[in-house]
Structure 1
Amino acid sequence: MSTRRTLDALLERHGTTYAAEAGIRLRDTPQPLYQLLVLSHLLSARIRARVAVAAARALFAHRLRTPRRMADAPWQERVDALGEGGYRRYDERTATQLGDGALLLLDMYGGDLRRLRREAAGETDTLRSGLRRFPGIGPTGADIFLREVQTVWPETAPYLDAKALQGAERLGLPTAPDGLSRLAKGRDPAVFAAALVRGALDKG
């Protein structure tokens, strides 16, 4: 199969971002950006992606869609919502981290991650470091956030982390970021990166 046909098949099968799967209509506004931060936190644990997505949807169904609501919610409500999504192995620790992270976001940035973006001034490394201030957001969580946000924060694009490059290698696509970026030209960078990650994880 040619490189172009491989890419087309990949996007047809896996061309959905994790944010879209979690029901997040991503825009450069505070609420969906916060929801993406929550999702990135959940996805970064050693747990199946579908469980993390289900847990995010359960939290949002409990109306825990903003840092204020997350911070004000009783700890047990956060635990219960995570459990409803099947996120049981890490539910208590994660419930604490989500509450602490929401308070930190409110204190440092008034609940608006766009202030972190402005603080970074186009420097992806600074942005990554800023994201890692939030409890539960380590290197993997920061990578997930930046991979998914690049459509609405285009200064971060193309963002292809190690997991995306692993997917490219598995599919016989170029593994150098420059080569992959040329291949993806004209396509949504977040969709492209998510497809590569899903390709890396797809046992089929």
Structure 2
Amino acid sequence: MASTRNKVQTLLDEGGTSFAAEAGIKPADKPSPLYRLVVLSVLLSTRIKARIAVDAARELAPWNSPQKMFDATWQQRVDALGRAHYRRYDESTSTALGDGAELLLDKYHGDLRKLRAKAGGDPEQVRTLLMELPRLGPVGADIFCREAQLVWPELRPYFDSKALSGAKKLGLPTDPDALADLVEGHDLARFAAALVRTTLDRGLVSAVG
């Protein structure tokens, strides 16, 4: 078990920056950071490099609420995505972000905490409600839940298929509860992110050993 603990600690040290943190999002159970996390999840859902999606999330940061995103013009959103080289999907993503902002305003008054309340503490229902947003399919919902488990404890432990694939690569348990036992609760989100990073970065796998 000691070697496993060492492996986990090395993984956290080398790859334990959450995607939200990389995008400059400070996790909190508040409307703005939760919305920015939804935007990041939408951006990461497409077949595009994670680094580009994170850069795009930073470019879109000024529109940090559904109302601001909705009020921005379609072209403004396209231009912001273009600055991050998020070009292959820029036009369709701009449309999806505008439509998603409108849905959040109409159904939840722009506050994702109301979506959480509607889910009634059921992680699967959180996921289902998130997938009503344009472009936020199963992959995007998993990304959101994986990162949001830091501030929404009812989601814990949340390790999606990518995180579990990373765990398998490292010879770690592939049972979510067994994985969760390897770290403190406040480290679950970045642990999950680090496991995902092992599927994207062969060098990280080598570093962890």
Q: Shorter-chain TM-score category?
A: over 0.9
CA distance in 1, matches of 2:196, 2:70: 31
Q: Which residue of 1 aligns with 2:206?
A: none
Q: Which residue of 2 aligns with 1:47?
A: 48
Q: Which residue of 1 aligns with 2:37?
A: 36
Q: Which residue of 2 aligns with 1:103?
A: 102
CA distance in 2, matches of 1:80, 1:49: 19
The superposition leaves residues 76-130 of structure 1 with CA deviations (integer Å, 9 ceiling, x where unpaired) of 0000000001100000000000000000000000000000000011111111000
Q: Which amino acid aligns with 2:36?
A: Q
Distance 1:125 1:65, change over 3 A: same
The superposition leaves residues 136-174 of structure 1 with CA deviations (integer Å, 9 ceiling, x where unpaired) of 100000000000000100010000000000110111111
| 1:183 CA drift (Å) | 1.5
Give 3-state SS (helix, strand or coil) of 2:158's partner: coil
Q: Which residue of 2 aligns with 1:20?
A: 21
| 1:177 CA drift (Å) | 1.4
| 1:44 CA drift (Å) | 0.9
Q: Which residue of 2 aligns with 1:188?
A: 187
| 1:185 CA drift (Å) | 3.8
| 1:178 CA drift (Å) | 2.0
TM-score where L is the length of structure 1 = 0.96
CA distance in 2, matches of 1:203, 1:191: 18
TM-score where L is the length of structure 2 = 0.94
CA distance in 1, matches of 2:187, 2:3: 21
| 1:175 CA drift (Å) | 1.1
Q: Are residues 1:152 and 2:151 paired? A: yes
Q: Which residue of 1 aligns with 2:90?
A: 91
CA distance in 2, matches of 1:120, 1:2: 39
Unmatched tracts of structure 1, length 5 or more? none
Alignment coverage as a number of residue pairs: 202
State the identity %. 59
Unmatched tracts of structure 2, length 5 or more? 204-209
**Within-5 A mapping of 1:2-17:** 2-17=3-18
Q: Which amino acid aligns with 1:21?
A: E
Distance 1:31 1:186, change over 3 A: closer
Give 3-state SS (helix, strand or coil) of 1:53's partner: helix
Moved over 4 A (4+): none
